[in-house]
Structure 1
Amino acid sequence: MELFEEFFPSYLDDIERIRTNTEAEQCNFGQQHSTETFDASPDPSSNTVESNDVPLLHQAVQIDDQHLFIQLLESGHDIDALDTAGNHSIHFVQSETMLELIVNRHPDGQRIVHRTNHEGFTLLHRVCSLRMDHKTMSDLLKRVIECGANVHQLTKNGESIAFFVENCDVLEYLREFDIQLEVVNQNGETALERHLYNENVQMARALLVRTHTSSTFKQRAHKYLNLMLKKGRYFFIRDYQDVLEKHPELTKALFDALYNHSREEASRLFAQACRNEIYFIVEKFLDFDYNLNYNFVYSEDEYDDEGTPLLRLINPRENFSNEHLIERLLQKDVDVSVRNGSGCNALLALALRYRFDNGSKHGEKLLQLLMKRGASIDSVDFNGNTALHWAFLSGRLEMVEVLLRNEADFRVKNNGGNIPLQMADAVNQELFYFWS
């Protein structure tokens, strides 16, 4: 520190702040460095902090301190010093004034904006990834492009600046230069896929609307729905459902691409949507009438009870407003005899449903539909209960009537030795005796 005190007495506070900012992350386009300490006390003509080879000039640019940058240059620091990722100080510019300072001081002048690091990133790639107020960003972008930055330049991994843009205002500005939104990188990703994966919802929404008519979209769209659904019902409804509702052609393109790519994957996603109660997705699959495997057994993890789409819809975890979807699904090629991990088939699951959904008026209709599909009326669960046991236990006498009309056996005893009537409370037992 003695050398800094001698050469930069007016900047001791800034240097001390950087020195003591332990474990501060410095992002270099996918690589991270930790600014840990300046204890090595580099010579004024040295260009780097020895602990991690981050040039001091870079740090001055990153904190947007033009005076410190000038002092470092005048003390002999190399303006072309690179860090271990091949980044030049130009790559850390965050203001128009710092850009002008480097351009004016560098022998290449404005051509310095073409410098790339080891991964092929330019200043423009870097600036697009920054988060700052709209005016500062607009002014900086405009100036970088005026200096000759190529808005179509790709990184070594084949990524355009659309992969790095962080907000729609920047995207709209760059669209004036006809930037490439549909580039596919060497990993087979599009910018839209990258933003969906990184949960940059604002950008993903914008790119969904702006790219869905392209041939590239149709080739890659089979990946997009899965990414939109990965965080579950609440986030899908909040982030994406309204976009799909407003753009039915986009919705159709997404679903068609998924089904045309893989019937099995489309069937899995349908089953996932049934399990997670994302009813917009369930309804669209039914609307588009694909030849799915409607008996696809899906579970989230080893602790999740396995179930087919029909069983999931009959016994949802929260949202019971889905009778219309159950009715529609029963028109498909579904197996009503499949059982879940609790030993319930569709008929038993329906009877169990009305323990929790007592406000429903559709139980009778769904029960009749299951009967028509060949459901076994006296099948039992692991505890020996029939649908009639559950109907009595739930106090749903209208379902009791339907089951008895369809010749349900009221003499079957469960594992506890109880016939169905004995599952009812005392009041309903009296009512049933009176009614019968």
Structure 2
Amino acid sequence: MLMIVEDHPDAINSEKETPLHRAAATGNLDSCQLLISKGVAIDAINSEKETPLHMAVQTENLDICQLLISKGAAIDAINSEKETPLHHAAVTENLDICQLLISEGAAIDAVNSYDQTPLHMAVQTENLDICELLISKGAAIDATDVLNKTPLHFAAFCGELQACQLLISKGAAIDAIDYKKETPLHKAVVTKNLNTCELLISKGAAIDAIDSWKETPLHMAVVNGNLNISQLLISKGATIDAIDFLNATPLHYAAFCGELQACQLLISNGATIDASNSSNLTPLHIAAQKGHLDVCKLLVSKGAGVNSLSSNNETPLMLA
């Protein structure tokens, strides 16, 4: 390596990496020092527009990070994804490098090409120490990415219970909505994270929050066939006959998906057996249309109208 450094300090490989990139990536401090003494470009970029500092951060080499920064490396250089070294550091477990970058003035809320901040990224990998550091240094707790998702949306979706607890304790908006108007509770329901759902509800999450389709968390829970979460939501006061933008109730959803146990749960908790959607279709119409015989039997046994007419004057039998 040293011979290459001596003879070809500005050489680049097929990835447009200079010897300084490689030395930083492999943790070769001596080579880094030699190359810098020869005046190589400290912020040279490779094919991904990453500088040697990006690479030193990724390989968690604190000494090389310190050297590069002391020699003037751009602390907020961005790669092709608009990620700064701090973005990279946020997904490692190296608290020291994060502290170094921040102490040297790294932008705490720099956004990548998806408008995600380092906190968004740290949350997704549940690096709690790094999350706490970023927040303590002023990271925006409710920063939104290109899809309007906050760090809490990500933590809830990933089932990162401790990250959720941390964010909420620091004031994260419990009912923040993303581009689909989904709250963190919607996200936790979709990914079947019961403990996260319990936490969010205990902290005041809106049990009947509606997304852009007017779906509540209960609508989503029965679609997923998640009885534990469905039971939790109902026990906490979820509206059993909440309607979406087509006037469909959770029972319509459960019937559509053939979720027999979910149908039983909803009916036992007072769901309207013959609720009609915007096309005057009842859950029995839906179950018959989808061929869910067990659900049809259940609904009929509970008094569903076998002669109910849709907007097109169709009975459930006609749709079977």
Residue deviations 1:116-143, cap 9 Å, x none? 445543322221122x3xxxx2222222
Match of 2:196 in 1: 243
Pairwise mapping of residues 120-199 of structure 1 onto structure 2 (< 5 A)?
120-130=82-92, 132=93, 137-155=94-112, 158-165=115-122, 166=125, 167-194=127-154, 199=158
CA contact (8 A) 1:218 1:257 kept: no
Q: How many Å separate the matches in 2 of 1:87 and 1:119?
A: 10
> Could you list the runs of 5+ residues in structure 1 that have no partner in the other structure?
10-42, 300-306, 317-321, 352-366, 382-436
Q: How many Å separate the matches in 2 of 1:129 and 1:177?
A: 17
Q: How many Å separate the matches in 2 of 1:342 and 1:219?
A: 35
281-290 or 203-212, larger mean C-alpha shift: 203-212
Letter paired with 1:205:
C
Match of 1:312 in 2: 259
Match of 1:95 in 2: 61
Letter paired with 2:173:
S
Letter paired with 2:50:
N
SS in 2 for 1:48: coil
CA contact (8 A) 1:85 1:118 kept: yes
CA contact (8 A) 1:336 1:374 kept: no
The verdict on how the C-alpha distance between 1:216 and 1:57 changes in structure 2, with shifts beyond 3 A counting, is farther
Task: Quote how far apart the aligned CAs of 1:203 are.
Answer: 7.1
> Could you list the runs of 5+ residues in structure 2 that have no partner in the other structure?
276-281, 308-315
Letter paired with 2:90:
C
The verdict on how the C-alpha distance between 1:169 and 1:208 changes in structure 2, with shifts beyond 3 A counting, is closer
Q: How many Å separate the matches in 2 of 1:188 and 1:347?
A: 40
CA contact (8 A) 2:141 2:171 kept: no
> Does 2:29 align with 1:44?
no
Residue deviations 1:297-326, cap 9 Å, x none? 559xxxxxxx347x6235x7xxxxx85543
Q: How many Å separate the matches in 2 of 1:294 and 1:62?
A: 55
TM-score using structure 1 length: 0.54
CA contact (8 A) 1:336 1:375 kept: no
Match of 2:173 in 1: 214
The verdict on how the C-alpha distance between 1:73 and 1:218 changes in structure 2, with shifts beyond 3 A counting, is closer
Match of 1:56 in 2: 19
> Does 2:42 align with 1:79?
yes
Q: How many residues align?
A: 289
Match of 2:269 in 1: 328
The verdict on how the C-alpha distance between 1:56 and 1:196 changes in structure 2, with shifts beyond 3 A counting, is farther
Match of 1:32 in 2: none
Task: Quote how far apart the aligned CAs of 1:53 are.
Answer: 0.9
Match of 2:164 in 1: 205
> Does 2:249 align with 1:294?
yes
Match of 1:262 in 2: 213
Pairwise mapping of residues 407-418 of structure 1 onto structure 2 (< 5 A)?
none
Q: How many Å separate the matches in 2 of 1:125 and 1:112?
A: 14
SS in 2 for 1:248: helix
CA contact (8 A) 2:116 2:144 kept: yes
Residue deviations 1:29-84, cap 9 Å, x none? xxxxxxxxxxxxxx6132421x1212221222122221232244356643232223
SS in 2 for 1:113: coil
The verdict on how the C-alpha distance between 1:200 and 1:67 changes in structure 2, with shifts beyond 3 A counting, is farther
Residue deviations 1:378-401, cap 9 Å, x none? xx99xxxxxxxxxxxxxxxxxxxx
SS in 2 for 1:257: coil
CA contact (8 A) 2:53 2:65 kept: yes
Task: Quote how far apart the aligned CAs of 1:225 are.
Answer: 4.6
Match of 2:226 in 1: 278
Q: How many Å separate the matches in 2 of 1:256 and 1:207?
A: 24
Task: Quote how far apart the aligned CAs of 1:112 are.
Answer: 3.4
Structure with higher Rg: it is 1
TM-score using structure 2 length: 0.70
Letter paired with 1:348:
K
